[in-house]
C-alpha cells in the first residue's frame, strides 16, 4: 500500500480486533491450499466494535449530547449503547451489528459539519474498558497457525506481538488545583415558549451570541446552545426552552451566567409588556438555573437577588428601600417625575443606586422594573479598582513629562527664559484599563525641517557614515542629538552647525540637496499633542531655531511620531505657515483644526490643515479663514499676544463642528473668563459664541450625543464639571434642494462640584468614551503632587477617583489623549432577524435588523487606512449568493442566485439541487455586508462587517400540497409516455413525489405490471433532482387497447404528514395516434382584463411517423368545466361543442394552431376548458388520424385600473377651466365590472414647495 493509503498502527489494531470477532462467529470459507481452521468449542458471542466520536477542527471543544449522537448514528442501525464523558466532548457508540458500525465509521469519519467553519467529525474504532479481544481459552498454537496461514490477519492478529486495541473509557473531570472540575456547566430555563409573535428563541440566540463573542469565554472552550421545545432542528426536544452554558474557566463562566440571568430577566419584562399590549394573561416568570460546578449532584435554583455589594454606613434597610422603590414607581406611573427623582436622589445620598428596566408603566410593581445595589467609592487597590470600577476596556495615551533628578549626567533645561517656555524630556505611555501598569516608549526629538544645499567647509566640520540602505531614523541615531544630514548613501552630522551655511530648496528634494533633521527647541503648550487615530500617529506643534542664517530663524512644525512602534514618522513632519493654537485632530476628514493669528498681535483666524496620502506621497494643504469679527465678545477679547488662546479644542466629528475657547474680560470686571466658540469647519463660520462665567481647564465632545462638557473654575475659584453646549441638525428641502444645518445652543449647567481631593487643577488634557459616555481627566491634589485620574460617568452622574498607584511613581505631569473614539465604527453590525422559507419553498428570505450597504464595501479615499466612503453603484441587486453567503452554507445551496429586495432584505433562489432545510444555519460571508450612513459633516459611519447567522425556519403558513399531473392521455404503443408532475404546487418545491401504477383496464398479467412498476421506481430513485417529478416509460412497453391508471402522491417538504394524491389515466390505442400538446401550463389562472393566447402542435412521431406527413386540420372548442364530456375513448375530458355564454366574436384562430381570446371575454370566477381537436389526413390512407388535448383556465378578478383621459398630464392657462377626466377607469376586481360604488378623491399640490 502506498504512503498515502497506509493504515496507522492504531487503525490496524482496531481492524484486526474487529476481523477477529467476525471470523470467530462466522467461519471463513475454505481456501484452496489452505488447511481448514479448527474452531473453539464455544465461540464468543458476536460483539459490535465501539466507536469513539468527537468534533475536531475548532479552536474550542465542541460539546456533544447523547440525544444528538443517538439521532445521527441511529440512521445506520440499532444503537445499543451511547456513553458520554463527563465534559461532553467525547462519546462512545455501540451498534447491535458490526456491519452497522463499519458503515457509520465509513460515512461519518472526517465529515464536515454544516455551518461551522473547519469543524468535522472524527469517528474511530475502539473498545470499552474491560473488553478482551482474545478469549482466555485461545490456543497459542492456533493463533500461530492463523498468523502463518491467513495473509489478511497475519500482521495484525492478537498475540503476534502487536498490542490489543486500547480500551477507552469515558473520562472523568480532572480536578484542577483546589479540587475544581475541568468544566463548569449550567442550564437556564427561559420559562417562555417559543412562538411566532414574540419570538423568544431569536432573543435568546442574541444573548448566546453575545456571550460567545467574549474572547476569554472562547479561549477557555466556552460554549452556548439553545435547546428545547419550539427551536426546530436537531436540538428540538420536549423539555422547556433553555439556554445551556459551559466553560472551563470559572471567572468567564460566572460572568457569562450572570450576563445571561440579567438579559433573560429583561426578556421576561419585555414579554410581560407584550402580553399586556396583546390582551394576554401576564405570567409570573422566573429564570430557573441548573448548575454543575462540582463533582456533587446537580442543583436547581431560581435566580437569587443580585449581588448588591457591601452595605455602606447609614444605608436604609432592605424593607425601606423596597418601600421607597414602590413609592417612586407609583410616582412614575402618575407622571410625577419630580417626586420620582427626589426618591432616587434620596436613596443615592444614603448609598443606594437604582437601575430601571423597561416596562415601568401598566400594572408592574416597582420590584419588577427597578433593581438596586449599594454604592460607594472603589477600593484603593489598583487591580481591584480597574476590575470593579471600570467594566469596559478603553485605550488612551498618557503624555508624561519626567524630571530625572537622580541621573547627574542628564542636563534638563526647564526654564528657558529666552523663549518663555518650559520643556522636559518627552515620554509617552499607553494606558489600557484592562491591563495595568503602563507601558511606555521614548520618542525622538528630531524633526525633518526640509531640504537644503549645504556648503561643507572641510571634513573636520562633520562626522560621516556611509550605507546604501541607511534610513532617516538610523542617521538620526548615529548623529546622537546633533543635526543630521541625509543624502544616500551618505549620513553626516554637523559638529559645528553654525559653520555650515544652508540654502533651502523649495519643492522636491534634488539629488544635490540634503534632508536635514534637527531637534526641536520647545513644544507648544498652547496646542497639546493630538492623535491621528487612523494613521496611529501623534502630532505635536514644535518650534525650531535654525543655527545658520535663515529667514525666519524661528520655525513652527507639526512633528509626527508613531508611539506604537517607538519611532518618528518623518514623512509626516510638516512646516506650518504660522503658529497655531488649540489644535485638535478631526480624523473624520483627516485634518487638523486650530486657531491662529494672522501675525503677532493680529486678528484671530481659523486654520485647517488637510492631510491626503496619495500615490504621489503625502500632501498637506493649509488654509486660514478670519473669524474674529464673528465672535460676540470680540470687543472684550484679551489681546495680549498669546493670551488670545488657551490650548483647548475638540471636534464633533459627525457634525463637522470645531469647539474651542478664547479668553475675554468679564463684564465690569478685570477677571478673565472663557468664550466658548462653535465653528462650522466646512462653512468656515462661527455657529455660536457664548461668554461663560468660568475659566475652563478642558473640553470633551461626545460626537454621538453631540454634547459638549468641560471642567473649570467659576468667578469664586470653585471648581466644577459643566455641561456647556448641545448641537442638533435640521434637514430641509425647498424647491428640490436639500440643505442641512447645524444649530448649537450653549448654556452653562453645573453637573456637580469636583471631589474634595481635587484641590488643585491640572486638567488641560482629557479623554471621552463616546459610546459609554465616560470622561477621564488628570488632576493633582497639590501643585507638587503626583498626577491622578478622575473619571466621570455622564449617564449616572457619578465620579470615580482612580487609585493613586494607577500612574507610575515618577510621573510629574500627565495628559490624556484619546486614541480610539470608535465613531466611524460606532454602528452595530447588521444582525440577521430571520432566515425563512416562503410557502412555495422556492425562496429563502433573509432579513437584517437595519439597512445595509448590500455588498458595497467601505473604501479609503484619502490614504489614511480608514474607510471614509462607499460607492452607491457597488450596491448589489442580483448576483451569485456566494458573494454574501459563507462557503459552508453555500454547500447547501450550490449555484443559487440572490436577489435584494430592500437594503435590509434579500432572498436566495432555491434550486432543486439545494439541500438546505429548516434547522440548518444560514451564515453571512464575513467582510461583505456592512451598515453605513453619512453624517452631516459628510463623514461616513460604518459598522464592522456582519458575520451573523440565523437558524433556517420553515414558512409561517404551511399549505397542503396539491398534486397535478400532465402528459399524453391518448397515445399509441410506439410513443414514449412522459408523466409530468412538475406543476404540482404547495409542496415546498422539494416535496417527496411517489408514483405508482395502480391498475389497468383490462387487467394485465403480473409480469407486465411489475416491469412498468420497476421503471417507475427506478426513475424515483435516480439522483437527478427532477427525476421523481417526471416519469418516462419507453415506447413499445405499453400494450394497446389498455387504460393505464397511474397515481401521484406529493408530500409536503415542511411536514410529511401533509400530502395529496391524484390519479391520471392513459389510454393506449393499437392504432397510430400522433402526439399532441398545448404549450404552457395545463392548469392556469387568467385575470379578466388580460388576453389569452393558446398555442398547440401535433407531431408526426410514434406509430404515425412511418405513415409520412399529411394535412392537419385544427378546431378549438371552449366550454365551462361543468359542460365537458369524455373524448377519445374516454381518455380526456374536453369540449365537444361551444359552451353557452361565450361570444365567438371575442375569439379568433378557431381553425388554427393558435387561439386568441380578447380581454373581458371570459366571465370572472368561472373555470373554462379549452380543447383543440386535430385531424391528420395521410396521403396513402383513406382514413384520418386524430387526437385532442385540453387545458383548464380559471378566470379570476383583476385590479383597479385608474386611467386619465389625456395621458400623464396636461398644460393650461390661468383663465381656462381645468377638466380632469378619469371616466375610463375600470374596476376589474368588481365582478359587475362597473364603478358605481367607487369613490373618487381629488387633491391639488403645488410642485417644489413641499417641505420634507
What does the pLDDT read at residue 413? 32
Closest by CA position to 439, among listed 456, 454, 427: 427
What does the pLDDT read at residue 731? 72
Compute the distance between CA of residue 611 and CA of residue 600 in angstroms, rounded to an integer. 26
What does the pLDDT read at residue 554? 82
Highest mean pLDDT pick, 254-258, 455-459, 771-775: 254-258
Compute the distance between CA of residue 646 and CA of residue 498 in angstroms, rounded to an integer. 35
Q: Using CA atoms of 666, 668, 669, 672 in order, give the dihedral in degrees to the nearest 10.
A: 20
Compute the distance between CA of residue 44 and CA of residue 1232 in angstroms, rounded to an integer. 86
State in words which class domain 184-302 has: alpha beta
What does the pLDDT read at residue 22? 38
Mean pLDDT of all residues in 300-311: 52
Compute the distance between CA of residue 624 and CA of residue 609 in angstroms, rounded to an integer. 9
Say how far residue 136 (Cα) sits from the centre of its chain: 61
- Residue-wise pLDDT for 333-349, tens only, equals 776 767 877 887 788 77
- Higher local confidence (pLDDT), 863 or 753: 753
Mean pLDDT of all residues in 319-332: 85
What does the pLDDT read at residue 230? 60
Residue 860 contacts residue 866 (beta carbons within 8 Å): yes
Angle between helices 98-108 and 9-25 (to 10 degrees): 150
Compute the distance between CA of residue 1041 and CA of residue 973 in angstroms, rounded to an integer. 10
Torsional sign, CA 226, 232, 236, 242: positive
- Residue-wise pLDDT for 816-840, tens only, equals 665 544 566 667 788 899 999 998 8
Answer CATH for 9-31+41-156 from 3.30.70.330, 3.30.1120.10, 3.30.930.10, 2.130.10.10: 3.30.70.330
Say how far residue 991 (Cα) sits from the centre of its chain: 32
Q: Where are the alpha helices (DSSP H) in 83-139?
A: 98-108
Mean pLDDT of all residues in 295-324: 64
Compute CA distances 176 → 294, 299, 461, whole Å.
11, 21, 70
What does the pLDDT read at residue 426? 35
Q: Would the pLDDT of 815 be above 70?
A: no
- Higher local confidence (pLDDT), 238 or 399: 238
- Residue-wise pLDDT for 542-559, tens only, equals 888 887 666 667 888 999
Supply 86's cell numbers: 463527563
Give the CB-side neighbour count of residue 1235, counting CA atoms within 13 A.
Answer: 14
Mean pLDDT of all residues in 964-989: 91
- Residue-wise pLDDT for 492-540, tens only, equals 988 777 777 888 888 788 889 999 999 888 777 677 777 776 677 788 8
DSSP state of 173: P
Mean pLDDT of all residues in 1150-1166: 90
* Percentage of the residues of the chain whose pLDDT score is greater than 70: 72
| Average pLDDT across the chain, whole number | 75
Compute the distance between CA of residue 1022 and CA of residue 584 in angstroms, rounded to an integer. 71
* Percentage of the residues of the chain whose pLDDT score is greater than 90: 20
Helix (H) / strand (E) element for 591: namely: strand 591-597
Residue 1102 contacts residue 1003 (beta carbons within 8 Å): no
Residue 1059 contacts residue 1052 (beta carbons within 8 Å): yes
Supply 97's cell numbers: 451489528
Compute CA distances 306 → 258, 271, 372, 867, 944, whole Å.
9, 21, 8, 43, 34
Closest by CA position to 392, among listed 800, 21, 904, 917: 800
Q: Would the pLDDT of 992 be above 50?
A: yes
What does the pLDDT read at residue 375? 59
Query: For residue 40, what pLDDT band results from cuts at 50, 70 and 90?
Result: very low
Exposed, middle or buried by CB within 10 Å (0-12, 13-18, 19+), for 471? middle
Q: Would the pLDDT of 700 be above 60?
A: yes
Q: Would the pLDDT of 12 be above 80?
A: no
**Can you point out the beta strands (E) in 96-215?**
120-126, 184-189
Angle between helices 337-349 and 318-333 (to 10 degrees): 160
Q: Where are the alpha helices (DSSP H) in 1028-1126?
A: none
What does the pLDDT read at residue 255? 87
> Which of 473-482, 886-895, 1004-1013, 1240-1249 is predicted with the least confidence, judged by mean pLDDT?
1240-1249
Closest by CA position to 541, among listed 696, 403, 659, 645: 645
Say how far residue 918 (Cα) sits from the centre of its chain: 21
Q: Would the pLDDT of 704 be above 80?
A: yes
Fold classified for 966-1196 = Immunoglobulin-like (2.60.40)
Supply 115's cell numbers: 455551518
Compute the distance between CA of residue 1002 and CA of residue 195 in angstroms, rounded to an integer. 54
- Residue-wise pLDDT for 1168-1198, tens only, equals 999 999 998 876 666 788 899 999 999 988 8
> Which of 271-275, 347-351, 1204-1208, 1214-1218 is predicted with the least confidence, judged by mean pLDDT?
1204-1208
Q: What is the DSSP string of 870-891?
A: --GGG--SEEEGGGTB-HHHHT
Q: Would the pLDDT of 847 be above 50?
A: yes
Mean pLDDT of all residues in 91-99: 84
**Can you point out the beta strands (E) in 202-351?**
223-227, 242-247, 288-292, 299-302
Report domain extents, the chain: 9-31+41-156, 184-302, 446-519, 521-619, 832-953, 966-1196
- Residue-wise pLDDT for 1124-1149, tens only, equals 999 887 778 899 988 877 888 889 99
Closest by CA position to 1082, among listed 1064, 1069, 1067: 1064
What does the pLDDT read at residue 13? 41
Give the CB-side neighbour count of residue 954, counting CA atoms within 13 A.
Answer: 16
Mean pLDDT of all residues in 1218-1235: 67
Q: Would the pLDDT of 120 be above 90?
A: no
Q: Would the pLDDT of 1031 be above 80?
A: yes
Residue 1048 contacts residue 1030 (beta carbons within 8 Å): no
Angle between helices 98-108 and 66-73 (to 10 degrees): 100
Give 126's strand partners: 50
Amino acid at each position: 500500500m502506498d504512503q498515502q493509503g497506509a493504515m496507522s498502527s492504531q487503525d490496524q489494531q482496531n481492524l484486526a480486533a474487529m476481523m477477529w470477532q467476525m471470523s470467530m462467529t462466522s467461519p471463513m470459507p475454505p481456501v484452496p491450499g489452505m488447511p481448514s481452521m479448527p474452531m473453539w468449542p464455544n465461540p464468543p458471542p458476536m460483539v459490535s466494535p465501539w466507536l469513539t466520536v468527537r468534533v475536531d477542527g475548532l479552536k474550542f471543544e465542541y460539546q456533544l449530547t447523547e440525544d444528538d449522537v443517538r439521532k445521527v448514528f441511529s440512521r445506520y442501525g440499532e444503537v445499543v449503547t451511547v456513553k458520554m464523558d463527563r465534559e461532553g466532548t467525547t462519546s462512545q457508540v455501540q451498534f447491535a451489528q458490526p456491519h452497522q458500525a463499519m458503515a457509520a465509521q465509513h460515512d461519518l469519519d472526517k465529515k464536515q459539519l454544516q455551518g461551522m467553519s473547519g469543524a468535522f467529525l472524527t469517528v474511530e474504532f475502539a473498545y470499552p474498558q474491560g473488553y478482551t479481544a482474545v478469549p482466555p481459552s485461545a490456543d497459542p498454537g492456533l493463533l500461530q497457525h492463523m498468523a502463518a496461514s491467513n495473509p489478511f490477519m497475519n500482521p495484525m492478529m492478537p498475540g503476534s506481538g502487536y498490542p490489543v486495541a486500547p480500551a477507552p473509557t469515558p473520562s472523568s473531570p480532572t480536578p484542577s488545583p483546589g479540587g475544581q472540575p475541568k468544566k463548569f456547566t449550567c442550564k437556564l430555563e427561559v420559562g417562555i415558549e417559543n412562538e411566532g409573535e414574540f419570538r423568544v428563541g431569536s432573543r435568546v440566540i442574541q444573548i448566546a451570541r453575545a456571550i460567545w463573542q467574549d474572547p476569554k469565554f472562547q479561549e477557555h472552550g466556552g460554549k452556548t446552545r439553545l435547546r428545547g421545545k419550539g427551536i426546530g432542528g436537531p436540538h428540538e426536544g420536549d423539555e422547556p426552552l433553555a439556554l445551556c452554558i459551559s466553560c472551563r474557566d470559572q471567572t468567564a463562566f460566572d460572568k457569562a451566567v450572570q450576563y445571561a440571568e440579567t438579559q433573560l430577566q429583561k426578556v421576561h419584562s419585555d414579554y410581560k409588556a407584550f402580553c399586556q399590549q396583546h390582551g394576554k394573561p401576564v405570567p409570573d416568570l422566573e429564570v430557573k438555573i441548573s448548575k454543575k460546578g462540582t463533582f456533587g449532584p446537580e442543583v436547581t435554583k431560581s435566580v437569587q437577588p443580585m449581588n448588591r455589594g457591601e452595605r455602606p454606613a447609614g444605608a436604609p434597610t432592605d424593607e425601606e428601600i423596597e418601600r421607597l422603590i414602590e413609592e417612586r414607581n407609583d410616582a412614575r406611573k402618575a407622571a410625577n417625575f419630580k417626586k420620582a427623582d427626589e426618591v432616587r436622589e434620596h436613596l443615592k445620598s444614603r448609598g443606594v443606586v437604582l437601575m430601571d428596566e423597561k416596562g415601568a408603566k401598566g400594572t408592574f410593581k416597582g420590584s419588577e422594573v427597578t433593581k438596586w445595589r449599594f454604592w460607594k467609592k472603589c477600593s484603593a487597590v489598583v487591580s481591584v479598582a480597574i476590575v470593579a470600577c471600570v467594566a469596559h476596556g478603553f485605550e488612551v495615551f498618557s503624555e508624561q513629562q519626567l524630571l530625572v533628578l537622580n541621573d547627574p549626567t542628564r542636563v534638563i533645561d526647564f526654564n528657558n527664559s529666552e523663549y518663555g517656555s518650559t520643556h522636559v524630556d518627552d515620554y509617552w505611555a499607553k494606558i489600557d484599563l484592562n491591563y495595568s501598569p503602563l507601558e511606555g516608549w521614548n520618542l525622538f526629538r528630531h524633526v525633518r525641517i526640509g531640504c537644503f544645499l549645504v556648503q561643507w567647509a572641510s571634513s573636520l566640520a562633520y562626522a560621516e557614515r556611509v550605507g546604501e540602505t541607511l534610513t532617516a531614523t538610523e542617521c538620526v541615531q548615529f548623529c546622537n542629538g546633533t543635526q543630521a544630514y541625509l543624502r544616500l548613501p551618505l549620513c553626516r552630522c554637523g559638529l559645528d552647525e553654525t559653520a555650515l551655511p544652508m540654502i533651502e530648496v523649495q519643492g522636491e528634494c534634488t539629488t544635490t540637496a540634503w534632508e536635514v533633521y534637527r531637534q526641536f527647541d520647545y513644544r507648544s503648550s498652547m496646542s497639546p499633542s493630538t492623535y491621528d487615530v487612523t494613521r496611529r500617529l501623534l502630532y505635536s506643534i514644535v518650534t525650531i531655531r535654525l543655527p545658520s542664517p535663515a529667514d525666519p530663524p524661528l520655525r513652527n512644525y507639526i512633528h509626527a511620531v508613531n508611539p506604537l512602534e517607538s519611532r518618528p514618522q518623518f514623512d509626516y513632519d510638516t512646516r506650518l505657515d504660522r503658529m497655531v493654537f488649540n489644535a485638535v485632530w478631526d480624523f473624520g476628514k483627516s485634518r487638523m483644526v486650530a486657531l491662529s493669528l494672522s501675525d503677532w498681535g493680529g486678528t484671530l483666524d481659523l486654520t485647517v490643515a488637510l492631510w491626503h496620502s496619495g500615490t504621489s506621497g503625502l500632501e498637506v494643504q493649509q488654509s486660514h479663514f478670519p473669524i474674529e469679527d464673528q465672535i460676540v465678545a470680540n470687543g472684550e477679547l484679551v489681546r495680549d499676544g498669546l493670551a488670545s488662546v488657551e490650548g483647548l479644542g475638540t471636534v464633533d466629528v459627525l457634525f463637522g463642528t470645531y469647539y474651542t475657547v478664547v479668553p475675554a474680560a468679564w463684564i465690569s470686571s478685570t477677571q478673565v473668563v472663557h468664550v466658548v466658540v462653535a465653528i462650522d469647519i466646512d462653512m468656515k463660520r462661527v455657529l455660536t459664541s457664548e461668554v461663560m462665567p468660568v475659566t475652563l481647564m478642558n473640553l470633551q465632545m461626545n460626537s454621538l450625543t453631540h454634547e459638549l462638557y468641560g471642567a473649570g473654575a467659576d468667578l469664586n475659584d470653585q471648581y466644577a464639571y459643566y455641561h456647556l453646549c448641545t448641537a442638533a441638525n435640521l434637514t430641509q428641502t425647498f424647491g428640490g434642494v436639500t440643505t442641512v444645518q447645524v444649530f448649537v445652543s450653549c448654556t452653562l449647567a453645573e453637573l456637580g462640584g469636583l471631589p474634595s481631593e481635587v484641590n488643585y487643577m491640572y486638567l488641560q488634557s482629557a479623554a471621552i468614551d463616546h459610546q459609554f459616555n465616560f470622561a477621564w481627566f488628570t488632576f493633582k491634589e497639590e501643585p507638587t503632587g503626583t498626577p491622578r485620574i478622575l473619571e466621570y460617568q455622564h449617564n449616572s452622574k457619578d465620579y470615580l477617583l482612580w487609585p493613586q498607584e494607577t500612574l507610575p511613581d515618577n510621573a510629574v505631569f500627565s495628559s490624556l489623549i484619546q486614541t480610539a473614539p470608535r465613531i466611524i465604527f460606532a454602528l452595530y453590525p447588521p444582525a440577521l432577524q430571520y432566515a425563512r422559507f416562503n410557502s412555495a419553498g422556492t425562496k429563502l428570505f433573509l432579513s437584517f435588523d437595519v439597512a445595509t450597504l448590500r455588498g458595497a464595501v467601505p473604501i479609503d479615499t484619502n490614504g489614511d487606512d480608514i474607510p471614509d466612503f462607499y460607492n452607491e453603484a457597488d450596491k448589489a441587486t442580483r448576483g451569485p449568493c456566494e458573494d454574501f453567503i459563507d462557503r459552508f452554507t453555500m454547500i447547501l445551496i450550490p449555484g443559487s442566485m440572490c436577489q435584494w429586495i430592500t437594503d435590509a432584505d434579500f432572498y436566495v433562489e432555491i434550486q432543486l439541487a439545494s439541500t438546505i432545510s429548516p434547522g440548518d444555519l444560514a451564515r453571512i460571508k464575513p467582510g461583505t455586508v456592512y451598515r453605513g450612513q453619512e453624517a452631516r459633516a459628510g463623514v461616513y459611519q460604518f459598522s464592522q462587517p456582519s458575520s451573523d447567522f440565523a437558524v433556517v425556519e420553515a414558512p409561517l403558513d404551511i399549505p397542503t400540497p396539491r398534486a397535478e399531473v400532465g402528459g399524453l392521455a391518448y397515445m399509441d404503443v410506439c410513443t414514449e409516455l412522459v408523466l409530468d408532475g412538475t406543476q404540482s404546487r404547495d409542496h415546498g418545491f422539494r416535496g417527496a413525489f411517489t408514483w405508482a401504477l395502480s391498475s389497468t383496464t383490462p387487467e394485465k398479467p403480473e409480469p407486465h405490471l411489475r416491469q412498468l412498476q420497476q421503471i417507475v421506481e427506478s426513475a424515483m430513485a435516480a439522483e437527478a433532482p427532477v427525476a421523481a417529478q417526471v416519469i418516462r416509460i419507453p415506447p413499445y412497453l405499453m400494450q394497446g387497447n389498455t387504460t393505464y391508471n397511474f397515481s401521484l402522491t406529493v408530500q409536503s417538504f415542511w411536514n410529511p404528514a401533509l400530502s395529496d394524491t391524484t390519479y391520471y389515466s392513459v389510454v393506449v390505442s393499437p392504432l397510430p395516434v400522433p402526439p399532441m400538446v398545448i404549450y404552457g401550463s395545463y392548469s392556469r389562472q387568467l385575470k379578466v382584463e388580460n388576453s389569452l393566447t393558446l398555442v398547440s402542435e401535433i407531431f408526426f412521431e410514434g406509430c404515425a411517423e412511418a405513415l409520412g406527413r399529411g394535412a392537419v386540420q385544427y378546431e378549438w372548442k371552449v366550454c365551462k368545466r361543468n359542460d365537458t364530456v369524455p373524448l377519445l375513448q374516454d381518455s380526456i375530458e374536453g369540449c365537444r361543442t361551444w359552451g353557452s355564454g361565450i361570444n365567438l366574436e371575442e375569439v379568433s384562430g378557431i381553425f388554427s394552431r393558435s387561439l386568441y381570446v380578447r380581454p373581458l371575454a371570459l366571465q370572472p370566477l368561472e373555470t373554462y376548458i379549452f380543447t383543440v381537436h386535430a385531424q391528420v389526413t395521410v396521403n396513402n390512407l383513406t382514413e384520418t388520424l386524430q387526437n385532442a388535448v385540453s387545458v383548464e383556465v380559471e378566470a379570476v378578478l383583476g385590479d383597479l385600473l385608474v386611467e386619465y383621459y389625456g395621458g400623464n398630464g396636461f398644460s393650461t392657462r390661468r383663465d381656462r377651466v381645468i377638466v380632469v377626466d378619469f371616466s375610463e377607469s375600470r374596476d376589474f376586481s368588481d365582478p359587475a365590472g362597473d364603478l358605481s360604488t367607487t369613490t373618487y378623491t381629488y387633491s391639488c399640490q403645488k410642485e417644489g414647495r413641499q417641505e420634507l
